[in-house]
């Protein structure tokens, strides 16, 4: 069967944008996106718009609208975020079976790894994000947990026969040992789930005109605040400690961070490693994935994963990072 995105042609994209009242100039540029499909569409006598077409059957309408509402709340509190455009009174549109949303075009560059001045400002931005996120829960979006990101990921990989037979015993063994340790740390670590970004890597915190803004809340969900923090850190342990101190100085100006959550950094990193492999597996029927990730089925990739999970298991037994 053809993949659902196979019918999302450039003409259909232009027709969708014009179906809600915009007049395109027929210029279209596909942007880097795998989970969804995102395009820059030229508009007659105006700035181009960004059109995001949601992957069919991934989110319910209620979950997508909940993401939009969270973004609107952030914008209303003057948190710099690229929010969906409301057109004809709505932010979620449909055309030819595809749900889509329009955004203003907002460029920028990712933060520099280890830049302490930028980390302080990023901390401020994350603190403001979480101050809004902590005011109420999501009702239609799942929480990040050991089961869905860990155990379900392992099930996907094993039942789908994605791991080469030569490496299957080693991968399954270390993955199960790792998940057991992750569960132990999770249970022993006090933490509170709040609405958070969910995929807060540096590429989703863009800088333009010396100001940072948040983009792409497609993966927003309930989870511990530290999930949006640890991906801002880079380098060895000592470098991370210095960076964390700067990040938290900015963060705590706007929202109180519970330092006990720092013990979840390595468990969350472990879950992200496994979830990423399972994400590739679940999307393998999408032609864009074999084309863009040809190494996924190779023994080298899975050998590297076995080593990465072993290193992660070792990291879980080390002393967690602590604030100065």
- Show contacts of 290-296: CB within 8 Å, 24+ apart: 292/34, 296/162
Integer-rounded Cα Rg, in Å, for the chain is 21
> Which residue among 15, 216, 249, 285 is the active-site one?
216
SS3 category, 211 = strand
Whether 25 is a known active-site residue: answer no
Is residue 61 marked as binding? Answer: no
DSSP labels, 56-117? TTTS-HHHHHHHHHHHHHHHHTT--B-PPPPBTTBS-EEETTEEEEEEE----BPPPTT-HH
**Helix 299-316, helix 265-282: angle, nearest 10:** 160
- Measured N-to-C along each axis, helices 299-316 and 168-188 cross at an angle, to the nearest 10 degrees, of 30
Cα separation of 14 and 19, whole Å? Answer: 8
CA 320 to centroid of chain Cα atoms: 23
Distance in Å from the first CA to the final CA of the chain: 56
Catalytic residue among 11, 78, 117, 199: 199
- Reply yes or no on whether 216 is catalytic: yes
**CA atoms of 24 and 49, how far apart (whole Å):** 10
Q: What angle do CA 303, 271, 299 make, to 5 degrees?
A: 15
CB proximity list for 299: less than 8 A, separation 6 or greater: 164, 166, 167
Report whether 219 belongs to an annotated binding site: no
Angle, nearest 10°, between helix axes 168-188 and 265-282? 140
Residue 23 — φ and ψ, nearest 5°?
-110, 110
How far apart, in whole angstroms, are the C-alpha atoms of residue 122 and residue 113?
12
Active site residues: 199, 216
Tell me the binding residues for Mg(2+): 204, 216
Annotated binding-site residues read: 204, 216
């Amino acid at each position: 069967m053809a993949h659902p995105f196979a019918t999302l042609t450039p003409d259909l994209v232009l027709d969708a944008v014009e179906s809600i009242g915009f007049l395109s100039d027929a210029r279209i540029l596909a942007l880097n996106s795998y989970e969804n499909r995102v395009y820059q569409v030229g508009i007659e006598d105006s700035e181009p718009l960004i059109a995001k077409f949601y992957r069919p059957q991934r989110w319910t309408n209620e979950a997508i609208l909940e993401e939009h509402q969270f973004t609107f709340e952030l914008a209303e509190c003057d948190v710099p975020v690229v929010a969906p455009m409301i057109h004809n009174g709505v932010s979620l549109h449909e055309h030819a079976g595809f749900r889509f949303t329009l955004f203003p075009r907002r460029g920028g560059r990712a933060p520099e790894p280890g830049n302490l001045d930028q980390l302080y400002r990023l901390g401020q931005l994350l603190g403001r994000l979480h101050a809004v996120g902590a005011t109420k829960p999501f009702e239609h979006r799942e929480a990040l947990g050991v089961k869905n990101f860990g155990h379900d990921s392992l099930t996907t990989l094993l039942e789908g026969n994605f791991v080469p037979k030569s490496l299957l015993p080693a991968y399954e063994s270390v993955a199960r040992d790792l998940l057991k340790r992750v569960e132990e740390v999770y249970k022993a670590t006090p933490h509170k789930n709040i609405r958070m970004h969910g995929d807060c890597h540096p590429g989703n915190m863009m800088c333009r005109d010396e100001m940072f803004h948040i983009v792409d809340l497609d993966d927003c969900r309930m989870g511990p605040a530290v999930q949006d923090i640890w991906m801002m850190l880079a380098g060895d342990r000592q470098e991370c400690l210095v960076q964390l101190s700067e990040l938290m100085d900015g963060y705590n100006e706007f929202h109180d961070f519970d330092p006990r959550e720092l013990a979840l950094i390595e468990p969350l990193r472990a879950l992200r490693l496994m979830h990423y492999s399972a994400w590739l597996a679940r999307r393998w029927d999408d032609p864009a994935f074999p084309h863009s990730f040809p190494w996924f089925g190779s023994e080298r990739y899975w050998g590297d994963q076995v080593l990465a999970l072993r290193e992660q298991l070792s990291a879980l037994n080390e002393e967690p990072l602590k604030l100065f």
